[in-house]
Amino acid sequence: MQKVNPTRPVLIMLYGLPGSGKSAFARQLTDVVNIAHVSAERIRFELFEEPRFDKAEYDVINSIMNFMTDQFLQAGVSVVYDTQVSRIADRKVLREIAHRYKAEPLMVWLQIDVDTAFARSNKRDHRKADDKYAVDLDADIFERMARALQNPTPTEEYAVISGKHTFNAQRDMVLKKLAAMGIIESSSYLSKVTKPELTNMVAQAQTQIGRVDLSRRNITIR
């Protein structure tokens, strides 16, 4: 399937609790959109044998991610910035990088309940592609990362998706937002969106074999 090509570079920043599904969303987005995946988990895995999740470690990882993002956008390549972009100040820096190269910044907020997020982040399945480089978080580290979250301000462009929804549903929301921003062509967006007639295939199949009579759907009981 042909990927969507942005009409101009876009910088997608991911925001949400650990375990909200940021890395899974980022990886699958690269299958749909021509966009580079800059992953904090991969960088941490390569650099730190025993991650501490302290300020010094974050500073190193963020410096590398910002440099990579700068280079990609300078080359006209869109980026999905895969880490918890918690602080407003950090997002401001990223927006400045985007504007330097006339790229559009967009924050995608993956919302999920705390219990589910912690359960996901506490016991990663490292056999899965999205958890291969992730580290299991204990309650203290999870709580510290959750407390660091600073919700978007009214001046920030962002889209909200559910961390519990399927990727197809998440994809449709984000592509719709990108089309509204003029980042992708509406025609290419519509070609990727799940068609309503494909979402109820069981009912259609039952109808075809005579197990459902649609003519009896509008019944009035007097």
* CATH number for the domain that contains residue 89: 3.40.50.300
In a domain, 218, yes or no: no
Number of structural domains the chain divides into: 1
Place of tokens 């919700």: 151
Q: Which pLDDT does position 123 carry in this prediction?
A: 85
Q: Average of pLDDT values for 120-130?
A: 80
Report residue 109: phi and psi, to 5°. -100, 110
Sheet order of strands, 36-39 included: 36-39, 79-82, 10-15, 104-111, 158-162
Percent of the chain at pLDDT > 90 equals: 70
Q: Is 82 helix (H, G, I), strand (E, B) or coil?
A: strand
Q: Is residue 155 a part of any domain in this protein?
A: yes
Helix (H) or strand (E) holding 170: helix 167-180
Identify whether 211 is part of a domain: no
CB 126 within 8 A of CB 80: no
**How much is the pTM?**
0.81
Q: What is the mean pLDDT of the chain?
A: 86
Buried b / exposed e over 173-184, threshold 16 CB at 10 Å, is bbbbbbbebebb
Asked whether residue 2 is domain-assigned, the answer is no
Please say if the pLDDT value at position 198 is more than 50.
Answer: no
- Residue 126 covered by a domain: yes
Task: Give the least confident one: 25-29, 143-147, 189-193.
Answer: 189-193
Query: Are the beta carbons of 142 and 118 closer than 8 angstroms?
Result: yes
Residue of 130 and 80 predicted with greater confidence: 80
* pLDDT score, position 53: 84
Instruction: Copy the structure tokens of residue 80.
Output: 């999905």
Domain that holds residue 171: 10-195
pLDDT band at residue 212 using 50, 70 and 90 as cut-offs: very low
Residue 190 lies in a domain: yes
* Domain-located, residue 212: no
**Does any domain span residue 206?**
no
Tell me the C-alpha to C-alpha distance, in Å, between residue 124 and each of 17, 105, 117, 174. Answer: 15, 30, 11, 26
- The strand pairing partners of 104, in sequence order, are 10
Q: Is the per-residue pLDDT at 54 higher than 70?
A: yes
